[in-house]
Amino acid sequence: MLRYHYRNLIPDKITQDLRTKILGRKIIYLDTVDSTNSEGRRRFTPEGEGIVILSEQQTAGRGRLGREWTSPRNKGIWMSILLKPDQPPDRIPRLTMVGAAAVCLALEIVEPSLGTKVQIKWPNDLLLGEKKVGGILTEMQVSGGKAQSVVLGIGLNVSLEEDDFPSELLMKATSLYLGTGRAYDREIIIAEILNSFEPLYQEFSGGSIAKSLTICRQRSAVIGRNVILVNKGIVEEAEVLDLGPQGELVVKLAKGDIASVVSGEISLRML
């Protein structure tokens, strides 16, 4: 049933649906690359804001903290957006939440019922039915106290089937197809991600992430849940209360103290 969808992307079909001014106006479309984020870093120029890199497959796709990201040919959206925000480096990680919010909005536009099913596991995971369907990886290069380049990577499993995942991932990963039984054209999803991202990025560039946070709160998989916080081997149980104004996680620790957690090296395990 899905065979038709194991086809190459048609970049012109993305362009047709774009309503952006900057994002995706130039698309670099590749067949194979190590990682679209690495390619983004290699190709970055200060004038290149908004360039989008897409690849049919990645041979060394990566997640946070250097983890591997499975990226088989034709079956997912493996893309990176090149950005040059005029914001201090310590604010750049917030873009991960802006990206996650944009993907959720895009999926809702493509199919309203799908949009409401996808949730955000702070700060960077996209879940469908408690399994991971995608993720965001924001990387930057800093010099002279400024972010010289930012590459925002988005991975979304569109039509992967069970045998596309390594066996150890089967329990925790899914795709739009596995989660809904439906096939989706990648082009329209990519266009809507860019359409949704641009205004949220403009807000970020003006110093606020209020709209993105509203979306992230509505779609949060963790607010109200008990989780385990894992930080460099230190493990702590907490109840997630909210997202703070800077995108930090507000938690109640086991002893009752309220704490704010910034993303950094923290991993969350849901209880």
* Residue of the chain from 97, 114, 127, 137 that contacts ligand BTN (CB under 6 A): 137
Position with the least CB separation from ligand BTN: 135
Do the beta carbons of residue 2 and residue 158 sit within 8 Å? no
Nearest-approach distance from CB 48 to ligand ATP, in angstroms: 26
Q: Which residue has the tokens 């010099």?
A: 143
Nearer to ligand ATP, 28 or 227 (CB): 227
Site string for ligand BTN, 55-84 (x = CB under 6 A): ---x--xxxx----x-x------xxx----
**Measured between alpha carbons, how far is 101 from 242 in angstroms, rounded to an integer?**
16
Q: Which residues, 6 or more positions from 67, have their beta carbon under 8 angstroms from its beta carbon?
A: none
Crossing angle between the packed helical segments 95-110 and 210-218, to the nearest 10 degrees: 60
* Residue of the chain from 24, 155, 159, 222 that contacts ligand BTN (CB under 6 A): 155
What does the binding site for ligand ATP look like in residue numbers (CB under 6 A)? 63-65, 67-70, 124-125, 132, 135, 157, 169, 173, 267-268
Binding of ligand BTN by 124 (CB under 6 A): yes
Nearest-approach distance from CB 65 to ligand ATP, in angstroms: 5
Binding of ligand BTN by 96 (CB under 6 A): no
Residue 54 has a CB neighbour count (10 Å cut-off) of 22
Is the four-CA dihedral 116, 117, 119, 124 of positive or negative sign? negative
* Number of residues binding to ligand BTN, judged by CB under 6 A: 21
Residue 211 has a CB neighbour count (10 Å cut-off) of 16
Pairing mode of beta strands 118-121, 125-128: antiparallel
169 binds, among ligand BTN, ligand ATP, none (CB under 5 to 8 A by kind): ligand ATP
- 57 to 36, 146, 176, 178, 236: CA distances (angstroms): 9, 32, 17, 19, 37
Nearest-approach distance from CB 136 to ligand ATP, in angstroms: 9
Position with the least CB separation from ligand ATP: 63
Residue 192 has a CB neighbour count (10 Å cut-off) of 22
Closest CA to 188 of 108, 92, 110: 110
173 binds, among ligand ATP, ligand BTN, none (CB under 5 to 8 A by kind): ligand ATP
Nearest-approach distance from CB 35 to ligand ATP, in angstroms: 12
157 binds, among ligand ATP, ligand BTN, none (CB under 5 to 8 A by kind): ligand ATP
20 binds, among ligand BTN, ligand ATP, none (CB under 5 to 8 A by kind): none
Q: Which two tokens stand for residue 164?
A: 């596309």
Contacting residues toward ligand BTN, per CB under 6 A: 35-37, 58, 61-64, 69, 71, 78-80, 124-125, 135-137, 153-155
